[in-house]
Amino acid sequence: MKHGLVVLILTIGEAFAAPELRRINDIDYVGDANPRQTLDLYVPETKTESPHPVVLWIHGGAWRKGSKDRPGRALKAAGLNCAIVSINYRLTSEKSWPAQIHDCKAALRWVKANAKKYHLDAERIVVWGGSAGGHLVAFLGTTQNHPDLDGKLGSHTEQSTSVKGVINFFGPTDFLVMNHQGSSMDHNAASSPEGQLLGGEVSTLKARAKIASPFHQVSSDDAPILTVHGTKDPLVPYLQGKALDDKLDALKVPSVLLTVLDGGHGRGFGPSVDKAVINFLKHHFFDEDLKLKDSSANAGQ
């Protein structure tokens, strides 16, 4: 599969510079010529002695739509001289779980295997996603180097699936309890995003739902996680993010929860959210001791 080069000039706010990025499109990270198993790579044109840290963006869309073509907020990380990787993965119309996480892990392995070629730092990769993408990045962070969940896609299975950190924007974390936490959607229905992901009514697939839930994969060796969730999220209840953070805290995994008061499903995420992400990346990429801790911000602030 051919992939093209595009040079981008991005203006991304006062907190960041306006970097020039070299964009390489449609890289096949598995080798099956499936457009849903491709990624776009954005590399800063700025010459640096040290390789670039990497933010790997995983899109949302209820696991049934969405595209790598709009990495959106993740591009802001380029202002810290990070490279950005935005990936596609197979949607539920093509394949049910665990195809989605197997694709994500294959993409991660591809990045590590090709890090030297693109001047990337394979040891400094943070995964970031929203909604369904938030679920997938949280799952990556809680199942690092898991022999039963890593899958065997692609040519780089020798690479680890560990990450430096996770930025989870309002991702589902426990499919078993979503319907009991307040939502405008019936998450149990076979036609729901979760039902389509798992292949039927969630209540009839409890073992499968538990395996697919990051909350039930948490262990003491998980990657550090920043969770950002709005208290008025009508689709993914706020308690999904809160429960994950509480469980990580109990096991002393570095975990930070930013509560967006009156925030919706990604709505109302203002400058405080950007600042939290910047600080998380600075802390884990550049060893800045920023004393990260749980906090809250009003929607829009």
pLDDT at 231 (0 to 100)? 98
pLDDT at 14 (0 to 100)? 39
Task: Over range 136-156, report the average pLDDT.
Answer: 97
Among 40, 167, 152, 24, CA closest to 99? 152
CATH architecture of 5-298: 3-Layer(aba) Sandwich (3.40)
List the chain domain ranges. 5-298
pLDDT at 245 (0 to 100)? 98
Q: Each residue of 181-215: pLDDT tens digit?
A: 988 899 999 999 999 999 999 999 999 999 999 99
The rounded percent of the chain whose pLDDT value lies above 70 is 94
CB 137 within 8 A of CB 161: no
**Half-sphere exposure for 6 (CA within 13 Å, toward CB):** 12
Residues ≥6 apart with Cβ < 8 Å to 171: 129, 130, 131, 132, 133, 134, 135, 136, 137, 138, 214, 236, 240, 241
Instruction: Specify the residue for token string 């975990």.
Output: 255
The answer on pLDDT for 2 being more than 80 is no
pLDDT at 10 (0 to 100)? 44
pLDDT at 7 (0 to 100)? 45
Q: Buried (b) or exposed (e) across 241-279, using 16+ Cβ within 10 A?
A: bbbbbebbeeeebbbbbbbbeebbbbebbeebbbebbbb
The pTM of the full predicted model, rounded to 2 decimals, is 0.94
The answer on pLDDT for 67 being more than 90 is yes
pLDDT at 4 (0 to 100)? 53
